[in-house]
């Protein structure tokens, strides 16, 4: 699937959003939430996919928020038409926090949706619904754009703060790698579907993954990835052993850590406070693998919004871990890997299809 480059919104312009949902209530809620942000503009509405497609040429939206389940032309069929005829338009799916909703959302991401917002059932009051939309939907729309005057492109963006003094200590040379830790967010399901099949069936290390997703979604993601690899793929559970030839994915709404029991590494889960507004958080996993494995870690930061993983990478790098970051051109959003690169922590910056070859090459050298 082709990667859409970030679009710059000129001064005085706003990001135009077409809201597609068969629910009048949802359309009103989204409109009110977006209207409060000065760089967003609701360009129009549609109650089903066919109406949405007919209005795109007149409204010229930058983003479409697309309900999955609608009468007539549903969200998936609408998405297929959008990707075929308007590949430059960003699409954020609205899905329900149900098994069916999670499964269809993963289908939508595979078909080219850029991101999704989970609509929690029984959110409660209007104020809570609005707050949920502000915190979830607005950042997910903005992540695909450079806002002139407020969000300069990476080339002109100042470098992130330097790592803490501990990271300035000479990095130890570690050749014996024992685990691979991966952090990923926006664009992650497709990125993981692309790289997981590249691992050989006799891959000698365990692989631990934090993908920012809610409950249900992570289990279905693990099941989907299992269909493309001979490695064993599981959603991690409390006490899951960390073993070679095995991929463990942090479950939604739980931080995943590694600890040792009787000398053997295993997973511990917790619902501690979110970090970087995330649970699971990449930083939590990375710190814990540093505690258990020291510098014997290969970490990879892939496409995603924000800076989750930056602090954990600083800890790993100081111990001698080997750090790989996905490059900007192949990332859906270059927030997470860009933060690691900007802090000077990446040993290699590679396109997505180069991540696993780099891991294999480094293990072979070690």
State the average pLDDT over residues 18-39: 91
Question: If pLDDT is split at 50, 70 and 90, which confidence band does 171 have?
Answer: low
Q: Is the domain defined by 164-365 classed in CATH 3.40.50.180?
A: yes
Q: DSSP string spanning 75-144?
A: HHHHHHHHHHH-TTSEEEEEEESSHHHHHHHHHHHHHT--EEEEE-TT--SHHHHHHHHHHHHHHHHHTT
* Known catalytic membership, residue 32: no
Q: Would you say 145 and 114 are in contact if contact means Cβ atoms under 8 Å apart?
A: no
State the average pLDDT over residues 194-220: 97
Detail the DSSP E strand segments found in the chain.
Answer: 7-9, 15-20, 40-46, 63-67, 90-96, 115-119, 145-147, 179-184, 207-211, 232-235, 246-249, 255-261, 264-270, 297-301, 322-326, 348-350
CA atoms of 147 and 121, how far apart (whole Å): 33
3-state secondary structure of 235: strand
**Domain limits, the chain:** 7-147, 164-365
The whole-number pLDDT of residue 119 equals: 75
Partners of 183 in the β-ladder? 210, 301
* Known catalytic membership, residue 132: no
CA atoms of 303 and 185, how far apart (whole Å): 6
Give which of 251, 260, 271 is closest to 208, Cα–Cα: 251
**Which position among 129, 212, 299, 327 bears the catalytic label?**
212
Provide CB contacts within 8 A for 227, sequence distance 6+.
Answer: none
261-305: pLDDT as tens digits = 999 999 999 999 999 999 999 999 999 999 999 999 999 999 999
Q: Is the pLDDT of residue 168 over 50?
A: no
189: left (phi over 0), alpha (psi -120 to 50) or beta: alpha
Answer whether 7-147 and 164-365 agree in fold: yes
Provide CB contacts within 8 A for 252, sequence distance 6+.
Answer: 213, 214, 215, 216, 217, 218, 280
Q: How far is CA 183 from CA 25, 97, 250, 280, in A?
A: 36, 23, 10, 10
Provide CB contacts within 8 A for 35, sequence distance 6+.
Answer: 42
132-153: pLDDT as tens digits = 788 889 999 999 998 876 645 4
The whole-number pLDDT of residue 169 equals: 47
Pick the CATH number of 7-147 from 3.40.50.620, 2.70.50.30, 2.60.40.10, 3.40.50.2300: 3.40.50.2300
- Considering only 25-29, 269-273, 330-334, 351-355, which range has the smallest mean pLDDT? 25-29
* Known catalytic membership, residue 212: yes
The whole-number pLDDT of residue 166 equals: 41
For residue 268, cis peptide bond before it (omega within 30 degrees of 0): no
**Which position among 129, 185, 193, 299 bears the catalytic label?**
185
State the average pLDDT over residues 187-204: 97
**Which position among 62, 67, 308, 327 bears the catalytic label?**
308
Provide CB contacts within 8 A for 147, sequence distance 6+.
Answer: 9, 39
């Amino acid at each position: 699937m082709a990667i859409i480059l970030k679009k710059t919104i000129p001064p005085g312009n706003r990001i135009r959003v077409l809201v597609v949902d068969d629910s009048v209530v949802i359309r009103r809620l989204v409109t009110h939430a977006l209207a409060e942000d000065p760089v967003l503009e609701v360009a129009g509405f549609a109650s089903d996919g066919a109406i949405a497609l007919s209005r795109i040429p007149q409204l010229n939206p930058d983003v479409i928020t697309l309900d999955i389940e609608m009468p007539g032309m549903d969200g998936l069929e609408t998405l297929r038409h959008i990707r075929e005829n308007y590949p430059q338009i960003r699409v954020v799916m609205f899905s329900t926090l149900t098994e069916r909703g999670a499964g269809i959302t993963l289908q939508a991401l595979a078909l080219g949706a850029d991101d999704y917002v989970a609509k929690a059932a029984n959110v409660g009051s209007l104020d809570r619904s609005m707050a949920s939309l502000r915190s979830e939907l607005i950042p997910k729309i903005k992540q695909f754009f450079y806002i002139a005057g407020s969000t300069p492109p990476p080339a002109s963006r100042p470098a992130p703060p330097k790592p803490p003094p501990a990271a300035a200590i000479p990095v130890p040379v570690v050749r014996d790698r024992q685990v691979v830790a991966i952090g990923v967010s926006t664009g992650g399901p497709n990125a993981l579907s692309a790289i997981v099949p590249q691992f050989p069936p006799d891959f000698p290390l365990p692989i631990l993954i934090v993908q920012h997703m809610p409950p249900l979604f992570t289990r279905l993601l693990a099941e989907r990835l299992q269909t493309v690899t001979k490695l064993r793929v599981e959603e991690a559970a409390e006490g899951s052993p960390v073993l070679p030839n095995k991929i463990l994915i942090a479950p939604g709404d739980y931080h995943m850590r590694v600890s040792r029991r009787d000398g053997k590494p295993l997973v511990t889960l917790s619902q501690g406070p979110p970090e970087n507004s995330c649970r699971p958080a990449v930083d939590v996993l990375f710190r814990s693998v540093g505690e258990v494995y020291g510098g014997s870690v290969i970490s990879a930061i892939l496409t995603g919004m924000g800076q989750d993983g930056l602090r954990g990478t600083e800890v790993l790098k100081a111990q001698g871990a080997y750090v790989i970051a996905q490059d900007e051109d192949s990332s859906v959003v270059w927030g997470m890997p860009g933060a690691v690169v900007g802090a000077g922590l990446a040993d290699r910056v590679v396109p997505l299809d180069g991540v696993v070859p780099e891991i294999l090459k480094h293990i072979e050298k070690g």
